[in-house]
Amino acid sequence: MQLIKFSFVLPTWDWRTSPRGSNIEGGRPVAYEVVKNLALTAERLGYHSVFSNDHLVRGEGGYILEGWTVLSALAAITTRIRLGNLVLCNAFRYPQLLAKMSSTLDVISGGRFELGIGSGWLADEFTQYDIPFPKPAVRIAQLREALDVIKRMWTLDRASFQGTYYTIRDAICEPKPVQKPHPPIMVGGGGEQLTLRVVAECADICNFGGSPAAYARKRDILRQHCKRVGRSFDEIELSWTGDFIIAASKDALAKKTQRIKPKRMAMEDYVQANIVGTPEVCLRKVEEYVDMGVTYFTITGFSLLQEPELELIAETVMSRL
C-alpha cells in the first residue's frame, strides 16, 4: 500500500495583516512559541513534515519570521518529523551557500531535511531588500542552474560548474547530507512551459495545487515534459498544495470558510480548488486526489492555527488512509 503523507505550512507570519482583498482577520500575532507548539503537535499526531515560508516581508504589516532560522530551531527540538521550506526563494541565497546550509541542517536533524525551492514571485520583498528581480524566464533559468549546483555540492568531493548565472570551482561541501544520494528536492510552482520542465529535469517531488481537474491537467503536462527530457514520470512524487478547512459541523465550516476565503474569489471556485468540508467530505476529496496519483498533501497553514484542526485531520482523514 502506498504511504500517503500529510504536512502543513507553519503560520510564521501574522495573518491578520493579510494582503488587500482578503477576508482573513481576527487571528493572533504569530510568535515562535505558537510555531514551536504546532510543530510538536504535528509530530505527536504523526504528520510527515512541517514547512516554513521563505519570505522577507508578508502582508501589509510585513511581519514574518525568517524561514531558515525557524527550521534550524525546530530541528533541535523535534526527533521524527521532517522539515522543509515551502518554498525557498532561489534568489535570496547563492546555491552553493544553500547547499552548505542544507547539508548542515540535514546532519543536525539526522536526515530529516527536504529541499523545497522555487524561483520567487513576491516583487515587494525584492524591491525593499534591493534584490534583483528579473523576468520570470530568467528566474526559472537561475533556478535550473541552482539545482545543478546544489546537487553537485551535495554529492561530489569537489564540485565545479560554469553556467550563465552561477560558477563554482573545486568547491568543497562537508559534511555531506545524511540522506543518500541527497535530500529530496521539491520544486514549487505549476508554470506549464518552464517550471514543470524544471520539475521533470530536477525534482523528486512536484508541488502545485488546484481543483482535481486543474491538477490532472498539470500532472499530464508534467508527464509530457518527462517524456521529452527522457525521464520516467514515476520517479516524481506527486504533491498537492492548498488550504484544508475542516469542521465537524456545517455551521462551523461555513463561518471558517467565509473568514478565510479571499474576498475576490467565488465560494464555488474556492471550494473546488481546496479541500473544504466536514470530515467525510474532506476524506472523499483527498481520495479523489489519491486516485490521480497524489501521495503527498502539503497543506497551507491559514486554516490550521489551532491544535483541534490538526487533531481532526489526523483522527478522521489520516487514520483512514
Lowest mean pLDDT among 44-58, 79-93, 140-154, 293-307: 293-307
pLDDT of residue 27: 43
Instruction: For residue 205, name the pLDDT band (cuts at 50, 70, 90).
Output: very high
> Do residues 76 and 108 lie in contact, with contact meaning Cβ atoms separated by under 8 Å?
yes
Q: If DSSP states are collapsed to H, E and C, what string results for the chain?
A: CCCCEEEEECCCECCCCCCCCECCCCCCCCCHHHHHHHHHHHHHHCCCEEEECCCCCCCCCCCECCHHHHHHHHHHHCCCCEEEECCEEHHHCCHHHHHHHHHHHHHHCCCCEEEEEECCCCHHHHHHCCCCCCCHHHHHHHHHHHHHHHHHHHHCCCEEEECCCCEEEEECCCCCCCCCCCCCEEEECCCCCCHHHHHHHHCCEEEECCCHHHHHHHHHHHHHHHHHHCCCHHHCEEEEEECEEECCCHHHHHHHHHHHCECCCCHHHHHHHCEEECHHHHHHHHHHHHHCCEEEEEECCCCCCCHHHHHHHHHHCHHHC
Lowest mean pLDDT among 12-21, 57-66, 71-80, 177-186: 12-21
pLDDT of 23 strictly over 70: no
Mean residue pLDDT of the chain comes to 92
pLDDT of 66 strictly over 90: yes
pLDDT of 246 strictly over 80: yes
Model pLDDT for residues 210-223, shown as the tens digit of each residue: 999 999 999 999 99
pLDDT of residue 81: 98
How would you classify the pairing of strands 159-162 and 167-171? antiparallel
Question: Per mean pLDDT, which of 55-69, 225-239, 304-318 is the most reliable?
Answer: 225-239
Model pLDDT for residues 165-201, shown as the tens digit of each residue: 999 999 999 999 999 999 999 999 999 999 999 999 9
pLDDT of 308 strictly over 60: yes
pLDDT of 59 strictly over 80: no
pLDDT of 18 strictly over 60: no
237-275 as b/e, with b when 16 or more CB fall inside 10 Å?
bbbbbbbbbbbeeeeebeebbebbbeeeeeeeebbebbb
d(CA 280, CA 285): 9
**% of residues, the chain, pLDDT over 90:** 83
Instruction: For residue 262, name the pLDDT band (cuts at 50, 70, 90).
Output: confident
Say which residue, 3 or 73, is predicted with more confidence. 73
pLDDT of 78 strictly over 80: yes
Longest dimension (CA), the chain: 61
